[in-house]
Structure 1
Amino acid sequence: MSIVLAHRLRGLHALLEMALKDERAQPRPDDRTVAGIKKKKLAIKDRLASAQARQMPSALP
């Protein structure tokens, strides 16, 4: 994964975190919206983790 793509994914993750906070701050947060945001955040986090795992050499012989 390129550094630029990783940076963009981290930025998108941060934007989703702000959207989640905004939705939760509503008097009656929409459960579907909250769940959708969380799902997107998790997908981004998983994509970043798998890319980092591929880039790091294995410590096993």
Structure 2
Amino acid sequence: MLSEEGLEILEIGIDESISLNENMVNRSGRKFLAQHYDTYLRDTKYGEESSERLEELYYQL
């Protein structure tokens, strides 16, 4: 779901200075974000583990 730019940034390392944008994802990533991003943000609580929720959403595609 990541574009070449997104993969490069992932390899360098992600911290609080990174902002997800459409250049970082491919077509599949944009579809995923369009369908789930707002709901994911609404349902995610700061400081809680959220990777399982992302994985669940990904496999619904």
- TM-score for both structures, normalised by structure 2: 0.30
The structure richer in helix per residue is 1
Indicate the structure (1 or 2) with the bigger Cα radius of gyration.
Answer: 1
**Greater RCO (Cα-Cα under 8 Å, separation 6 or more):** 1
